[in-house]
Chains A and B, each alone.
Chain A
Amino acid sequence: MDIETLKQKMDEAHYVYDDNLITTLFVAINLDRPLLIEGEAGVGKTEVAKVVAAALGRKLIRMQCYEGLDESKTLYEWNYQKQLLSIQVNMGKTDDDTLTKSLFSDEYLLERPLLQSIRSEEPVVLLIDEIDKADEEFEAFLLELLSDFQVSVPEVGTIKAKTKPFIVLTSNRARPISDALRRRCAYLYIEYPDMEKELAILRSRVPHVDERLCVQIAQAVHDLRENEAILKKPSVAESLDWAEALHALGVRELTPELMKSTVGFVLKNNEDIATLSEALDAAEAEPEETEEYRRRHEEGEHCHDHHDHADGHLHDEDCEFEKTGKHCGRHSHA
């Protein structure tokens, strides 16, 4: 598969991508390398696996990692109850060796995601999600699969992959991933999207939301990410949720009041919400020089609604009031 075909397939799957992602995917697919994706939570790491599965027309097998995950939950487990039943039923009917051998056959093997992915007749996409949540022992256990596409089951021996799965591992960097695992993977880091890409994602994923509102959401989310005081930056998933929430409320324009009341969709901790509220209150108390202000100032229009024309105003050489007697929109005029 060449890059252009891959792009076409990603387009068909309605995924907003950049050249970096496409080239990395191309390399990983062509070299049959597992792909390790890192990035902040909610930037679309898991989505890449789903979209690749859709683009390649393969089945997606997902394995969610967590602390304490072991091979019985990821690779295989023997069906003990069925084995015990079989022993009791066949006791005396068959000789011991045959019975023992039959107990460790496919009939009693419960396949878990890793085994499923390598025993599948059709190639699949295997998503190992949030590998950083699993234990280091599990990481070491994965190495054989990632490098040789095979696993070892003590009672059966080594099982080689019938078809090579495309493996995607994701990590939020909650803990460092071992070098051994990294070396076996192609690496992709997904950053927060810039405003243009965020807008494209909003247009693609929530097409029913008003275009003007999408622009305002993208701008607001971008500003929140730029804000150093915000500890947990909003992710793409959160901006999509926010757009849906605002749409459900029938909102057409994002105002500071609406931002305050719906901020829970985009910021997820109290400190950040308090920081935003303070920033919004400060902005309300001291309105910034908007485009409208500037235009009016340049045109030297009278601004009735903002000034009480008290004595003792600031003098400014550039002030239109000084020259023309018209109000400028910046100062209080006597």
Chain B
Amino acid sequence: MLDTEVYLEKLALFGRLLRQQGMEVSPKENSDACSILLSLDMSDRETVKTALRTVYAKSRDEQLKFDRVFDSFFLSEEAIRAIDKRHQKEELERRKAMEEAEQALSEQTPNVLYSEAQKEAYSQLSEEEKRRLEELKKRMKGTTDRSVPLYTDFIRSVFMKYILEQQIKMEDAAIGAQAIDPEIGILFKDISDFHDNEIPKAVKYMQDLSSRITGELAKRRKGAKKSGSLDFRRTIRKSLETGGSLHKLAYKPSRKRKKQLVILCDVSASMVQFSEFALRFIQALNEASESSRVFLFSEELKEADPFHLQNMDAFRDYVRESGVYGKGTDLGAALKRINDERPSVLSPASVLIIVSDCKSIDIGGACREMDRSRGRAGKVYCLNPLPESKWKYSSSVMALSQKCTMLSCSTLRDLGEACRRLTLS
């Protein structure tokens, strides 16, 4: 009896741990787990694991999460003690490193307050990077005496930059460590990190997704048939099947005007791989729109020839020879040229889609032109290949995200979701 109570207690705790991992564990699942454990031979660990996994995990991702929690929860006493010892040691080391970092930072940049996360990021910097910062401080010593506030601000900004980079690295490492479904892992991978051998798989995924979205659109149009007026002729004809009773009513399909897409695609060097993926999507979804116009921009603006958009290889060559490829990004100038020189492009029936990481020069100008474009176009969306978690590190992204609907599409999954939202909205 006591054993059973212990098991139930452990199972309840295990359920809570699964919840902490983002899995939905209801009392029903816990009660199912209890009843199945009572009917199983508990001596075989693998059988117990599979049985509990069947009850708790409802998808491939959840199975992987479950395995991780189960393997770390149901351990032998010895393993638990060893892990506890290791954790204590790691915690001690972490505290020591944090104290050292705090001391070093207060010596290097007195009167500057750092957050706990920034201190931790500093403690994770390599010795070489720390040495480089110290050398920089020594080199700048002469300037210190001349202008203390200027020097302090400069050193602070350098420190902040290093710490920020370290924080981004740490976040990336944490994302990489997450176990995801190996079958669909490519959907969660950063598009800019794709290897050559992954691109065909990614392209196939995009083709599948675009055909699925096209199907959804067709279904919507089909579903929208009832919204039209009653079709008397077809209704009377149909009633003949049921002896003249008006059993099923037929409706005239309502005509819905498709939106006009205006795509403004950033083809600066850092964006080219992503732009290609995004344009593949946009091309595949083209039939959702009555017409579309594609503009390429970096520091200059050029309208893409529709003929070249039919073939991605030709398009790639076309972009490289266009004269806009590989330069800096000036979103404001590109929008200004559309607004001033081609006023007919944006109208209330058009949807402007900007495909860019928004790391633009003259951010003030970009915001102003964005406001103008928003006033002219029906809707303005921005597909940003930067992960949403990194937007806060870029002031230009933060500023532009206030001006339009910005959708993150750093991974294929995000890109798919963004395109679905664009098409079905």
Contacts and interface: CB of A to CB of B under 8 A. Distances in A.
A314 interface: no
B233 interface: no
Contacts of B94: none
Name, among A24, A88, A187, the residue most crowded by chain B CB atoms within 10 Å (CB to CB): A187
Interface in A73-116: 80-81, 84, 88
B131 interface: no
Contact of A229 (B39, B57, B58, B200): B200
Name, among A31, A88, A231, the residue most crowded by chain B CB atoms within 10 Å (CB to CB): A31
A182 B212 CA distance: 21
Contacts of A19: 46-47, 50
A312 to B, nearest CB: 36
B234 interface: no
Interface in B161-216: 183-184, 197-198, 200-201, 204, 208, 212, 215
A23 B47 contact: yes
Interface string A13-33: 000000110011011101101
Interface string A297-334: 00000000000000000000000000000000000000
Interface in B18-36: 24, 26, 32, 35-36
A33 B33 CA distance: 12
B126 interface: no
Interface string A267-296: 000010000000000000000000000000
B243 to A, nearest CB: 5
What range describes how many residues of A lie at the interface?
35 or more
Chain B interface SS verdict (over half): helix
A185 B55 CA distance: 8
Given A175-B212, A179-B24, A30 B36 contact: yes
Nearest to A80: B242
Contact of A135 (B50, B55, B219): B219
A3 B242 CA distance: 54
A188 B212 contact: no
B127 to A, nearest CB: 39
B39 A80 contact: no
A148 B201 CA distance: 41
Given A19-B46, A67-B219, A179-B24, A33 B32 contact: yes
B50 A20 contact: yes
Nearest to B29: A183
A248 interface: no
Contact of A228 (B57, B197, B247): B197
Interface in B212-254: 212, 215, 219, 242-243, 245, 247
B60 interface: yes
A189 interface: yes
A179 B61 CA distance: 13
Contact of B200 (A67, A80, A189, A231): A231
A67 B59 contact: no
A174 B55 CA distance: 24
Given A80-B247, A182-B59, A24 B54 contact: yes
B51 interface: yes
Contacts of B46: 19
A27 B58 contact: no
B63 interface: yes
A149 B121 CA distance: 55
A229 B59 CA distance: 27
Interface string B49-81: 011001101111011000000000000000000
A183 B29 CA distance: 9
A67 B208 CA distance: 16
B33 to A, nearest CB: 9
A185 B212 contact: no
Contacts of B40: 3
A172 to B, nearest CB: 11
Interface string A213-237: 0000000000000001101000000
Contacts of B51: 23-24, 26-27
Name, among B58, B62, B212, the residue most crowded by chain A CB atoms within 10 Å (CB to CB): B58
A99 B208 CA distance: 53
A38 interface: yes
A187 B197 contact: no
B243 A84 contact: yes
Nearest to A32: B32
Given A31-B32, A31-B36, A183 B58 contact: yes
Contacts of A183: 24, 26, 58
B39 A186 contact: no
Contacts of A174: 208, 212
A84 B57 contact: no
Contact of B58 (A20, A26, A31, A187): A187
B309 to A, nearest CB: 22
Interface string A151-195: 000000000000000000000011100010011011111000000
B212 to A, nearest CB: 6
Contacts of B63: 187, 189
Contacts of A188: 54
Given A175-B212, A179-B24, A187-B58, A231 B201 contact: yes
Contact of B215 (A40, A67, A179): A67
Interface string A137-151: 000000000000000
A291 B50 CA distance: 40
Given A30-B39, A80-B242, A231-B201, A179 B54 contact: no
B243 A185 contact: no
B247 A23 contact: no
Interface string A40-52: 1000000000000
B200 A271 contact: yes
A23 B50 contact: yes
B200 A84 contact: no
B380 to A, nearest CB: 28
Nearest to A269: B204
B52 to A, nearest CB: 9
A176 to B, nearest CB: 9
Contacts of B242: 80-81, 84
Interface of A: 3, 19-20, 23-24, 26-28, 30-31, 33, 36, 38, 40, 67, 80-81, 84, 88, 135, 173-175, 179, 182-183, 185-189, 228-229, 231, 271
Given A84-B243, A229-B200, 8 more contacts: A3-B47, A20-B50, A30-B35, A173-B184, A183-B24, A183-B58, A187-B58, A189-B63
Q: What are the 6 closest A-B residue pairs judged by CB atoms, nearest first?
A: A182-B58, A23-B50, A27-B54, A24-B54, A186-B54, A228-B197
17 contacts: A3-B41, A3-B47, A19-B46, A23-B47, A23-B51, A27-B55, A28-B54, A31-B32, A36-B58, A38-B59, A40-B183, A67-B219, A88-B243, A179-B58, A182-B59, A187-B57, A228-B197
